[in-house]
Copies of this chain bind each other. A is one copy, B any other.
Amino acid sequence: MDEMHKNKREYVLGVDVGGTKILLLLADKDGQTYFKKKVESSGNLNEVCNIIDDFIEESKIDVSRIEALCMGVPGEINGDGIVRLSIQLDWKDVNVTEYVQSRYRFPVYVKNDVNLSALGERWLGNGENTDHMIYISIGTGIGGAVIANGHLVEGYNHSAGEIGYMLDKSDLSKGLHNEETDFGSLERKISGKSLTDKAKELGLTSEMLFQLYGKHNEDVNKTIDNFILELSVVIANMISILNPEYVIIGGGVSVSMDKIIPIIRDKVSQISIFDTQIKRSKLGGETGAFGCVYYAFYEA
Protein backbone atom coordinates (compact mmCIF):
# COMPACT_ATOMS: atom_id res chain seq x y z
CA MET A 1 0.00 0.00 0.00
CA ASP A 2 2.76 2.39 1.01
CA GLU A 3 4.81 1.35 -2.01
CA MET A 4 1.85 1.96 -4.28
CA HIS A 5 1.37 5.39 -2.77
CA LYS A 6 5.02 6.19 -3.31
CA ASN A 7 4.74 5.29 -6.97
CA LYS A 8 1.80 7.63 -7.40
CA ARG A 9 3.91 10.68 -6.64
CA GLU A 10 2.86 13.98 -8.01
CA TYR A 11 5.14 16.67 -9.31
CA VAL A 12 5.42 20.41 -9.49
CA LEU A 13 7.03 22.16 -12.43
CA GLY A 14 9.29 24.95 -11.19
CA VAL A 15 10.31 27.52 -13.78
CA ASP A 16 12.93 30.08 -12.75
CA VAL A 17 13.01 32.73 -15.44
CA GLY A 18 16.18 34.84 -15.54
CA GLY A 19 17.27 37.58 -17.90
CA THR A 20 19.11 35.21 -20.26
CA LYS A 21 18.40 31.70 -18.96
CA ILE A 22 15.52 29.60 -17.67
CA LEU A 23 15.91 26.74 -15.23
CA LEU A 24 13.08 24.19 -15.42
CA LEU A 25 12.66 21.52 -12.80
CA LEU A 26 10.13 18.77 -12.10
CA ALA A 27 10.26 17.67 -8.48
CA ASP A 28 8.07 15.99 -5.90
CA LYS A 29 6.92 16.88 -2.37
CA ASP A 30 10.25 15.68 -0.94
CA GLY A 31 12.32 17.74 -3.37
CA GLN A 32 13.34 14.68 -5.44
CA THR A 33 14.07 15.80 -8.98
CA TYR A 34 12.35 13.94 -11.83
CA PHE A 35 13.82 16.00 -14.66
CA LYS A 36 15.57 19.33 -15.03
CA LYS A 37 17.06 21.50 -17.73
CA LYS A 38 18.62 24.91 -18.22
CA VAL A 39 17.73 26.71 -21.44
CA GLU A 40 18.80 29.99 -23.04
CA SER A 41 15.94 32.44 -23.40
CA SER A 42 15.35 35.93 -24.72
CA GLY A 43 12.66 36.52 -22.12
CA ASN A 44 9.89 36.73 -24.71
CA LEU A 45 6.83 35.34 -22.94
CA ASN A 46 5.58 33.26 -25.86
CA GLU A 47 9.06 31.77 -26.22
CA VAL A 48 9.12 31.00 -22.48
CA CYS A 49 5.86 29.07 -22.88
CA ASN A 50 7.26 27.12 -25.83
CA ILE A 51 10.31 26.25 -23.73
CA ILE A 52 7.97 24.93 -21.01
CA ASP A 53 6.07 22.82 -23.58
CA ASP A 54 9.30 21.37 -24.97
CA PHE A 55 10.51 20.61 -21.46
CA ILE A 56 7.32 18.75 -20.54
CA GLU A 57 7.53 16.73 -23.76
CA GLU A 58 11.21 15.96 -23.33
CA SER A 59 10.68 14.89 -19.70
CA LYS A 60 8.19 12.24 -20.96
CA ILE A 61 6.08 12.82 -17.85
CA ASP A 62 2.37 12.00 -17.94
CA VAL A 63 0.98 15.57 -17.79
CA SER A 64 -1.77 14.46 -15.38
CA ARG A 65 0.97 13.91 -12.80
CA ILE A 66 1.92 17.61 -12.81
CA GLU A 67 0.15 19.17 -9.84
CA ALA A 68 1.02 22.80 -10.57
CA LEU A 69 3.42 25.13 -12.30
CA CYS A 70 5.15 27.89 -10.37
CA MET A 71 7.20 30.52 -12.15
CA GLY A 72 9.79 32.74 -10.50
CA VAL A 73 10.25 36.14 -12.10
CA PRO A 74 12.73 38.89 -11.20
CA GLY A 75 10.76 42.05 -10.42
CA GLU A 76 7.64 43.40 -8.84
CA ILE A 77 4.69 41.01 -8.97
CA ASN A 78 1.32 41.74 -7.42
CA GLY A 79 -1.01 39.40 -5.53
CA ASP A 80 -2.79 38.33 -8.72
CA GLY A 81 0.47 37.24 -10.33
CA ILE A 82 0.59 40.23 -12.65
CA VAL A 83 4.15 41.36 -13.33
CA ARG A 84 4.12 45.08 -12.57
CA LEU A 85 7.72 45.63 -13.55
CA SER A 86 10.57 43.35 -14.51
CA ILE A 87 13.47 45.43 -15.80
CA GLN A 88 15.54 42.33 -16.56
CA LEU A 89 12.80 40.79 -18.72
CA ASP A 90 11.40 44.07 -20.01
CA TRP A 91 7.91 43.14 -18.83
CA LYS A 92 5.60 45.90 -17.55
CA ASP A 93 2.03 45.23 -16.35
CA VAL A 94 1.94 41.81 -18.00
CA ASN A 95 -0.61 39.31 -16.69
CA VAL A 96 1.84 36.43 -16.90
CA THR A 97 -0.34 34.17 -14.76
CA GLU A 98 -3.34 34.48 -17.08
CA TYR A 99 -1.19 34.06 -20.19
CA VAL A 100 0.53 30.91 -18.95
CA GLN A 101 -2.60 29.55 -17.25
CA SER A 102 -4.53 29.65 -20.53
CA ARG A 103 -2.19 26.95 -21.89
CA TYR A 104 -2.39 24.43 -19.04
CA ARG A 105 -5.00 22.60 -16.98
CA PHE A 106 -2.95 22.57 -13.76
CA PRO A 107 -2.82 25.74 -11.60
CA VAL A 108 -0.17 28.33 -12.42
CA TYR A 109 1.51 30.63 -9.88
CA VAL A 110 3.82 33.53 -10.68
CA LYS A 111 5.92 34.93 -7.83
CA ASN A 112 8.98 37.05 -7.17
CA ASP A 113 12.14 34.99 -7.71
CA VAL A 114 13.96 36.14 -4.56
CA ASN A 115 11.00 35.25 -2.36
CA LEU A 116 10.92 31.81 -3.97
CA SER A 117 14.68 31.43 -3.48
CA ALA A 118 14.23 32.06 0.25
CA LEU A 119 11.63 29.28 0.39
CA GLY A 120 13.88 26.93 -1.60
CA GLU A 121 16.90 27.61 0.57
CA ARG A 122 14.91 27.10 3.74
CA TRP A 123 13.45 23.85 2.46
CA LEU A 124 16.45 22.07 0.98
CA GLY A 125 19.40 24.38 1.61
CA ASN A 126 21.01 26.10 4.57
CA GLY A 127 17.75 27.38 6.07
CA GLU A 128 17.12 24.07 7.89
CA ASN A 129 13.35 24.60 7.86
CA THR A 130 13.64 27.50 10.28
CA ASP A 131 10.61 29.66 11.00
CA HIS A 132 12.68 32.86 11.01
CA MET A 133 15.04 33.62 8.17
CA ILE A 134 16.31 36.45 6.01
CA TYR A 135 17.51 35.75 2.49
CA ILE A 136 19.69 38.29 0.66
CA SER A 137 20.30 37.87 -3.04
CA ILE A 138 23.22 39.79 -4.48
CA GLY A 139 23.23 39.52 -8.25
CA THR A 140 23.11 42.28 -10.83
CA GLY A 141 20.80 44.01 -8.34
CA ILE A 142 20.02 43.25 -4.71
CA GLY A 143 16.85 41.67 -3.40
CA GLY A 144 15.79 40.24 -0.10
CA ALA A 145 13.14 38.02 1.37
CA VAL A 146 11.78 37.57 4.87
CA ILE A 147 10.40 34.39 6.38
CA ALA A 148 8.71 34.97 9.75
CA ASN A 149 6.57 32.63 11.82
CA GLY A 150 7.26 29.97 9.17
CA HIS A 151 5.79 31.94 6.27
CA LEU A 152 6.97 34.25 3.57
CA VAL A 153 6.34 37.92 4.34
CA GLU A 154 5.15 39.50 1.12
CA GLY A 155 3.84 42.70 2.71
CA TYR A 156 0.84 44.86 1.97
CA ASN A 157 1.59 45.34 -1.76
CA HIS A 158 3.72 42.23 -2.22
CA SER A 159 6.83 44.42 -2.14
CA ALA A 160 8.47 43.22 1.08
CA GLY A 161 12.17 42.40 0.83
CA GLU A 162 13.05 45.25 -1.53
CA ILE A 163 16.25 45.88 0.41
CA GLY A 164 18.01 47.32 -2.65
CA TYR A 165 16.25 50.53 -1.57
CA MET A 166 17.71 50.53 1.94
CA LEU A 167 19.75 53.62 2.62
CA ASP A 168 22.10 55.36 4.96
CA LYS A 169 21.92 58.97 6.15
CA SER A 170 25.10 59.70 4.21
CA ASP A 171 23.45 58.48 0.96
CA LEU A 172 20.98 61.34 1.25
CA SER A 173 23.66 63.99 1.62
CA LYS A 174 25.33 62.45 -1.46
CA GLY A 175 22.03 62.66 -3.38
CA LEU A 176 21.59 58.89 -3.64
CA HIS A 177 17.78 59.09 -3.49
CA ASN A 178 15.59 56.20 -4.51
CA GLU A 179 13.59 56.21 -7.72
CA GLU A 180 11.31 53.40 -8.74
CA THR A 181 12.68 52.80 -12.21
CA ASP A 182 16.30 52.99 -11.12
CA PHE A 183 18.64 50.95 -8.95
CA GLY A 184 18.08 51.58 -5.24
CA SER A 185 20.58 53.32 -2.94
CA LEU A 186 22.04 50.06 -1.64
CA GLU A 187 22.21 48.57 -5.14
CA ARG A 188 24.16 51.57 -6.32
CA LYS A 189 26.72 50.83 -3.63
CA ILE A 190 27.16 47.05 -3.41
CA SER A 191 25.25 45.23 -6.18
CA GLY A 192 26.95 43.02 -8.75
CA LYS A 193 26.55 45.82 -11.27
CA SER A 194 28.24 48.38 -9.02
CA LEU A 195 31.07 45.92 -8.31
CA THR A 196 31.52 45.23 -12.02
CA ASP A 197 31.62 48.96 -12.78
CA LYS A 198 34.23 49.51 -10.08
CA ALA A 199 36.25 46.48 -11.25
CA LYS A 200 36.26 47.76 -14.84
CA GLU A 201 37.78 51.04 -13.68
CA LEU A 202 40.61 48.97 -12.22
CA GLY A 203 40.91 46.74 -15.31
CA LEU A 204 39.50 43.78 -13.40
CA THR A 205 36.33 41.67 -13.15
CA SER A 206 34.12 41.61 -10.05
CA GLU A 207 35.24 38.04 -9.29
CA MET A 208 38.85 39.25 -9.29
CA LEU A 209 38.01 41.91 -6.69
CA PHE A 210 37.16 39.11 -4.25
CA GLN A 211 40.14 36.97 -5.29
CA LEU A 212 42.62 39.83 -4.87
CA TYR A 213 41.10 41.09 -1.61
CA GLY A 214 43.56 41.16 1.29
CA LYS A 215 46.57 41.32 -0.98
CA HIS A 216 48.43 44.45 -2.02
CA ASN A 217 46.00 46.33 -4.21
CA GLU A 218 44.71 49.25 -2.14
CA ASP A 219 41.82 50.07 -4.49
CA VAL A 220 40.63 46.47 -4.37
CA ASN A 221 40.90 46.31 -0.58
CA LYS A 222 39.04 49.57 -0.19
CA THR A 223 36.24 48.43 -2.51
CA ILE A 224 35.73 45.10 -0.76
CA ASP A 225 36.12 46.62 2.73
CA ASN A 226 33.35 49.01 1.83
CA PHE A 227 31.22 46.15 0.42
CA ILE A 228 31.69 44.26 3.70
CA LEU A 229 30.84 47.31 5.81
CA GLU A 230 27.71 48.28 3.87
CA LEU A 231 26.41 44.72 3.79
CA SER A 232 27.18 44.15 7.48
CA VAL A 233 25.25 47.27 8.53
CA VAL A 234 22.25 46.18 6.44
CA ILE A 235 22.38 42.67 7.90
CA ALA A 236 22.74 43.99 11.47
CA ASN A 237 19.76 46.30 11.02
CA MET A 238 17.60 43.53 9.56
CA ILE A 239 18.59 41.32 12.50
CA SER A 240 17.58 44.03 15.00
CA ILE A 241 14.18 44.31 13.33
CA LEU A 242 13.45 40.62 12.72
CA ASN A 243 15.66 38.48 14.98
CA PRO A 244 16.03 35.64 12.44
CA GLU A 245 17.77 32.34 13.13
CA TYR A 246 19.58 32.45 9.79
CA VAL A 247 20.71 35.07 7.31
CA ILE A 248 21.42 33.37 3.99
CA ILE A 249 23.31 35.14 1.24
CA GLY A 250 22.65 33.97 -2.31
CA GLY A 251 22.69 35.31 -5.86
CA GLY A 252 25.43 35.38 -8.49
CA VAL A 253 27.88 37.50 -6.49
CA SER A 254 27.64 35.20 -3.45
CA VAL A 255 29.55 32.54 -5.39
CA SER A 256 32.68 34.72 -5.05
CA MET A 257 32.11 35.55 -1.39
CA ASP A 258 33.55 32.46 0.33
CA LYS A 259 36.58 34.32 1.71
CA ILE A 260 34.60 37.27 3.05
CA ILE A 261 31.62 35.50 4.66
CA PRO A 262 33.61 34.93 7.90
CA ILE A 263 34.63 38.60 7.88
CA ILE A 264 30.99 39.66 7.49
CA ARG A 265 30.08 37.30 10.35
CA ASP A 266 32.67 38.96 12.61
CA LYS A 267 31.62 42.45 11.62
CA VAL A 268 27.92 41.76 12.21
CA SER A 269 28.61 40.17 15.59
CA GLN A 270 30.64 43.26 16.55
CA ILE A 271 27.83 45.68 15.74
CA SER A 272 24.74 43.62 16.60
CA ILE A 273 23.87 42.22 20.02
CA PHE A 274 21.89 39.28 18.62
CA ASP A 275 23.22 35.82 17.75
CA THR A 276 22.41 34.94 14.18
CA GLN A 277 23.94 32.40 11.83
CA ILE A 278 25.12 33.94 8.57
CA LYS A 279 25.64 31.49 5.72
CA ARG A 280 26.03 31.33 1.98
CA SER A 281 23.30 29.73 -0.09
CA LYS A 282 23.70 25.97 -0.44
CA LEU A 283 21.56 25.37 -3.51
CA GLY A 284 23.16 28.14 -5.59
CA GLY A 285 21.52 28.51 -9.00
CA GLU A 286 18.78 25.98 -8.21
CA THR A 287 17.44 27.77 -5.13
CA GLY A 288 14.72 29.62 -7.05
CA ALA A 289 13.45 26.59 -8.97
CA PHE A 290 13.22 24.50 -5.80
CA GLY A 291 11.45 27.44 -4.16
CA CYS A 292 8.86 27.25 -6.95
CA VAL A 293 8.26 23.60 -6.11
CA TYR A 294 7.99 24.34 -2.38
CA TYR A 295 5.65 27.25 -2.97
CA ALA A 296 3.20 25.24 -5.05
CA PHE A 297 3.17 22.27 -2.68
CA TYR A 298 3.18 24.03 0.68
CA GLU A 299 2.70 27.81 0.62
CA ALA A 300 0.08 28.44 -2.08
Contact = CB atoms under 8 A, between A and B. Distances in A.
A188 to B, nearest CB: 14
A142 to B, nearest CB: 11
Contacts of A172: 229, 233, 271
Contact of A153 (B148, B166, B184, B236): B148
A211 interface: no
Interface string A147-177: 0110101111111111111111110100001
Contacts of A169: 168, 170, 229-230, 233
Interface in A158-205: 158-170, 172, 177-180, 184
Contact of A177 (B130, B149, B271, B275): B271
Indicate the size class of the contact surface on chain A: 35 or more
Nearest to A230: B169
A20 interface: no
A196 B299 CA distance: 48
B130 A163 contact: no
A273 B179 contact: yes
B165 A272 contact: yes
A146 B165 CA distance: 19
B270 A168 contact: no
Contacts of A156: 130-132, 243-245, 276
B245 A166 contact: no
Contact of A243 (B159, B238, B244, B271): B159
A136 to B, nearest CB: 11
A14 interface: no
A102 interface: no
Interface string A97-119: 00000000000000000000000
A240 B230 CA distance: 16
Given A167-B236, A241-B144, A159 B229 contact: no
A241 B233 CA distance: 14
A242 interface: yes
B273 A240 contact: no
Nearest to A160: B243
A146 B241 contact: yes
Given A132-B160, A148-B160, A162-B274, 18 more contacts: A131-B156, A146-B241, A149-B153, A156-B244, A156-B276, A157-B275, A161-B241, A164-B240, A165-B240, A165-B273, A167-B237, A168-B168, A172-B271, A177-B270, A178-B272, A178-B273, A241-B241, A241-B242
20 contacts: A146-B148, A148-B153, A149-B153, A155-B242, A155-B244, A156-B276, A157-B275, A159-B243, A160-B241, A161-B243, A162-B273, A165-B236, A165-B240, A168-B168, A168-B169, A168-B170, A169-B170, A170-B170, A172-B229, A237-B237
